[in-house]
Amino acid sequence: MEGCMQCGKNLSFNEIGAHKKFINRGARQFLCRNCLAESLNVDPELIDAKIEQFKLQGCTLFV
């Protein structure tokens, strides 16, 4: 699996899910949690909170 397109960090399943959810569902390249937060201009903690929320809703992009 490819890493973050910005910093090269290895990506977790949930980071890929977050990128799809926040940026583009059909994306082929992804950002890690930190780079995603930066590009959205939010705190990484918000990304975590959103992932938890999507998980509770039963979203299959997250484990």
| Burial class for 47, CB neighbours closer than 10 Å (0-12, 13-18, 19+) | buried
Minimum CB distance to Zn ion smaller for 41 or for 60: 41
Tokens 């399943």 found at: 13
18 binds Zn ion (CB under 5 A): no
| Candidate list 16, 32, 47, 51; residue touching Zn ion; CB under 5 A | 32
Q: Does 35 bind Zn ion (CB under 5 A)?
A: yes
Stretch that binds Zn ion, among 4-12, 19-27, 41-49, 51-59 (CB under 5 A): 4-12
Which span (15-23, 24-32, 40-48, 54-62) binds Zn ion, by CB under 5 A?
24-32
Question: 47: Cβ–Cβ under 8 A, 6 or more apart, which residues?
Answer: 18, 22, 33, 36, 37, 40
Structure-block tokens of residue 30: 């992804």
